[in-house]
Amino acid sequence: MSRPRLSRLISACAVISALTAPLTISLPAAAHDSGLGHSGLGHSASGSHSGSREKEPDTGKFTVDKAEAAVLGQEHAETHARARMRAEDLGDYPQPMRTGRLESLTKSQATHNAKFSAREYGAFKEYFPSPDFGVHVAQLPTGKVLLFSFERVETNPTKETAPTQVVGKANAGRAYLWDPAKGSGEDAFKKVTPPTINMPDGKNEARPAPFFCAGHAFLPNGMLGVFGGNLGGNHGSGAKLSLVFDPWTESWSLNEQMSVGRWYPSAVTGPDGRILIMSGQSELGWGTPTPIVERFPALNHPVPTTKTDVPRNVPVDVFKADAPFKHDYPHLFSLRDGMIYGLGRDHDQQWLFDPVAETRTNLAARPDKFMRNYGSAVPLPAGFKGPNSVLVLGGNRDDPNTYQLAGGKWKTKEARAFGRTQDDTLILPDGNLLTVNGAYDIRDYGNGQYNPNADLKYRQTEMRDEGGDWKLGPAQRLPRGYHSNAVVLPDGRIMVTGDEAQQIANDPDISDDMDGSIEIYEPAYLHNGERPDLTAVPRRTLGYDSRFRVLTSAPEDVKRAVLLAPTTATHSVNFSQRHLEVRIKSRGDGALELQAPPSAEAAPPGYYMLFLLNEEGVPSTAKFVSFGPPAAR
């Protein structure tokens, strides 16, 4: 290579280093406003660069210079290409705009929330950066939270951030653990990269498994099964991936592929501890939903029940009945009768699956008579025997009504203040419901597609009491719609995250690796006096209908004991929510004697958060207990 050429490449490295350093851009006042209320943000940004040297498009949305790759190596050249892409994106959506948006949202949140009493409505208390977008979340039985999504291909929130259309190694997944015990700094997060694999996309390029937009559910041993993901191209092609995350060793394992690709599938754990997997676009791309139902592990493999029983190279098998959902991410619930309820987005696609007989039968059509797009559904608390009804809500901006399915019949129930899509509704320890997040439509917050400016109402929480009445509450800082998420933490707080577009639109430093954010909401019960304490619970797996002792310093102050299943959720679909009362059989000597749920139908085998509540409804910090295995059928 000539010395002038080498000199230019060295200079290029210096330029790239400058581009990847923290960047501050000043724009004339006339160029943009603060980014609040500005609707014309859809500028174009080409991935190409001028010059006479030959260029070759990479599998992502950036261009690799062949000459750079020949001298510096492919990986170094890709770093240059990504930095050029990031610089172009920053030109379209500069850092001052992001900073100004976040400052404005912070101020409007404080102004709005000043009128809400924390004792009655709760309060948002923390907001801090995260290294992941949180497209998928899971509250693990270790107390840590798993977040996973994708490596971004854009930093401009008015463009598609995910590598949905990417074929090749830029189509990659990522995952992190957040440890609430370590607080909110960078040290509280640990990267737990999924297995590196070659996808069957013809590229032969290894990358961390692109498992974003998968379905997931817990196994009885506390491990998380993850199924499907993004093959790349065709507006969302399904991957055949089947993985398990082990919270005890904080590592991933790869299992045998599914028989069909799935992009946007649903998954649910049944009374036998096996996971049923339904729906999702096939490997052929958007518009090819699969009716095939699969089961993990396959019937000829045992269900993993211990911490050391890690599924590796375990197959799925095909369930006898099909599930021809027309739209993806149907809501799946295992109710107290042992049946699996598949509640589709289309009003007339409501089905009942028998996990033993492997049959499907029709349920009554939902009375709203239209398709609900990305809204919540919750199995309503119903005492000691487990849930026997489901409340469907959200998913339509024009319909604030909620709909309850019980005994095979639908009833129109109390309406919320307004319709919203992309909402996340959680069951709290006291049995009340909390809605966070929401939008006008997919990637539309009330001001048009790919415009991150949102109507304030979509930032408002909404709460449902035991009587079914709803009331609006304080506002979260960020509007969060598509890919938003929330979980109940063991200490009773609510973690709110997700929506990559909003997170990068309000990123205080887009040049660093903390491109997500987390908000913490404290429900009203945390502002109404001291908690009861829960000192110790059994470490062994508890049998159904058995009695067990837990330690507490003031057993006479405990009014209720409840079980709350840890949440794993994505795309407004919560695959695991469940709330059960636990019978208090006796109290005294610093202990309570409790009675376990009656059966695996009441509480599918696995880990649950046990809360003790006092007369005021204030919960203890939970401890995890496990139930099962179920009796052989």
- Determine the pLDDT at residue 85: 57
pLDDT band at 563 (very low <50, low <70, confident <90, very high): very high
Token pair of 163, please? 């590598």
629 compared with 255, residue with greater pLDDT: 255
First to last CA, the chain: 73
pLDDT band at 410 (very low <50, low <70, confident <90, very high): very high
Is the pLDDT at 513 greater than 50? The verdict is: yes
Interior angle at CA 566, CA 212 and CA 440, nearest 5: 55
- Determine the pLDDT at residue 65: 73
Cis-peptide into 355, omega within 30 deg: no
Instruction: Tally the C-alpha atoms within 13 A of residue 581's C-alpha that lie toward its C-beta.
Output: 14
β-pairing, 206-208 with 196-198? antiparallel
pLDDT in tens, 524-535: 999 999 999 999
**356-370 average pLDDT score:** 97
Phi-psi region of 131 (alpha: psi -120 to 50; beta: other; left: phi over 0): alpha
Token pair of 297, please? 């592990």
The share of the chain scoring above pLDDT 70, in percent, equals: 86
pLDDT in tens, 174-227: 999 999 999 999 999 999 999 999 999 999 999 999 999 999 999 999 999 999
pLDDT in tens, 414-448: 999 999 999 999 999 999 999 999 999 999 999 99
Q: DSSP character for 53?
A: S
Q: Which residues contact 393 (CB under 8 A, 6 or more apart)?
A: 375, 376, 377, 378, 401, 402, 403, 416, 423, 425, 435
Is the pLDDT at 36 greater than 80? The verdict is: no
- Determine the pLDDT at residue 227: 98
- Determine the pLDDT at residue 612: 98
pLDDT in tens, 73-99: 776 667 666 655 554 545 689 999 999
Token pair of 55, please? 């260029």
**492-508 average pLDDT score:** 97
Residue in 193, 172, 166 with CA at minimum distance from that of residue 61:
166
Interior angle at CA 209, CA 206 and CA 212, nearest 5: 140
Range in 22-31, 175-184, 393-402, 585-594 the model is least confident about: 22-31
CA of residue 498 relative to chain centroid, distance: 7
Q: Which residues contact 89 (CB under 8 A, 6 or more apart)?
A: 45, 154, 155, 156, 159
Question: 121-151 burial string, b = 16+ CB within 10 Å, else e?
Answer: bbbbeebebbbbbbbbbbbbbbbbbbbbbbb
pLDDT in tens, 263-282: 999 999 999 999 999 999 99
489 compared with 13, residue with greater pLDDT: 489
**Long-range contacts from 100-107, C-beta under 8 angstroms, 24+ separation:** 100/34, 100/35, 100/36, 101/34, 101/35, 101/36, 101/452, 101/505, 101/506, 102/477, 102/506, 102/507, 102/508, 104/34, 104/35, 104/36, 105/477, 105/478, 105/479, 105/506, 106/477
Is the pLDDT at 395 greater than 80? The verdict is: yes
- Determine the pLDDT at residue 102: 97
Residue in 239, 342, 328 with CA at minimum distance from that of residue 289:
328
The share of the chain scoring above pLDDT 90, in percent, equals: 83
Q: What average pLDDT is seen over the chain?
A: 89
Residue in 180, 189, 171 with CA at minimum distance from that of residue 237:
171
Instruction: Tally the C-alpha atoms within 13 A of residue 450's C-alpha that lie toward its C-beta.
Output: 12
Asked if residues 22 and 509 have their Cβ atoms less than 8 Å apart, the reply is: yes
Asked if residues 589 and 578 have their Cβ atoms less than 8 Å apart, the reply is: no
pLDDT in tens, 223-247: 999 999 999 999 999 999 999 999 9
pLDDT in tens, 288-325: 999 999 999 999 999 999 999 999 999 999 999 999 99
